[in-house]
């Protein structure tokens, strides 16, 4: 099995995450256009956090964001930036359309779900050892 490992000065890693955000009150306000808009907003600042956005999809009341990160990435800060920046931008862009579904400054639910999608296995360790021999 082949793994796609990232490397730092003294490390090798593969950190993949699955972030799920739900809209406030689980309102069905996410269209395909708005989901693409969210993707563009997030893509604008991922480099600042050492993050690579690998996929973003969802339904009308939530999004799934798949990304890779560095060991030094402050995940809580990144998630708070994602939620804040996307909420602000989408509310500005679609203010008239959203005012009947969402009120106040809220767009996302206060909570989120973050799942690590990678796992350490013997194959990863073997690959690491082989890479160190080269």
User: Which spans in 23-74 are helix H?
Assistant: 32-43
pTM: 0.83
As a whole-number percent, the residues of the chain with pLDDT over 70 amount to 85
The 8-class DSSP code of residue 26 comes to G
The model's pLDDT over 57-90, given as tens digits with 9 standing for 90+, comes to 999 999 999 999 999 999 999 999 999 999 999 9
Residue 30: Cβ within 10 Å count:
21
* SS3 at position 9: coil
Q: Do the Cβ atoms of 74 and 49 come closer than 8 Å? A: yes
């Amino acid at each position: 099995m082949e793994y796609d490992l990232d490397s730092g000065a003294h490390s090798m890693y593969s950190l993949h995450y699955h972030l799920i955000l739900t809209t406030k009150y689980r309102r069905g306000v996410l269209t395909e256009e708005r989901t693409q808009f969210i993707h563009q907003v997030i893509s604008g600042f991922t480099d600042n956090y050492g993050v690579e956005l690998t996929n973003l999809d969802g339904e009308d009341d939530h999004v799934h964001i798949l990304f890779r990160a560095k060991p030094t990435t402050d995940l809580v800060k990144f998630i708070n930036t994602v939620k804040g920046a996307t909420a602000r931008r989408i509310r500005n862009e679609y203010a008239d359309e959203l005012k009947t579904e969402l009120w106040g400054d809220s767009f996302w639910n206060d909570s989120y779900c973050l799942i690590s999608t990678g796992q350490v296995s013997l194959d990863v360790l073997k690959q690491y050892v082989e890479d160190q021999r080269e």
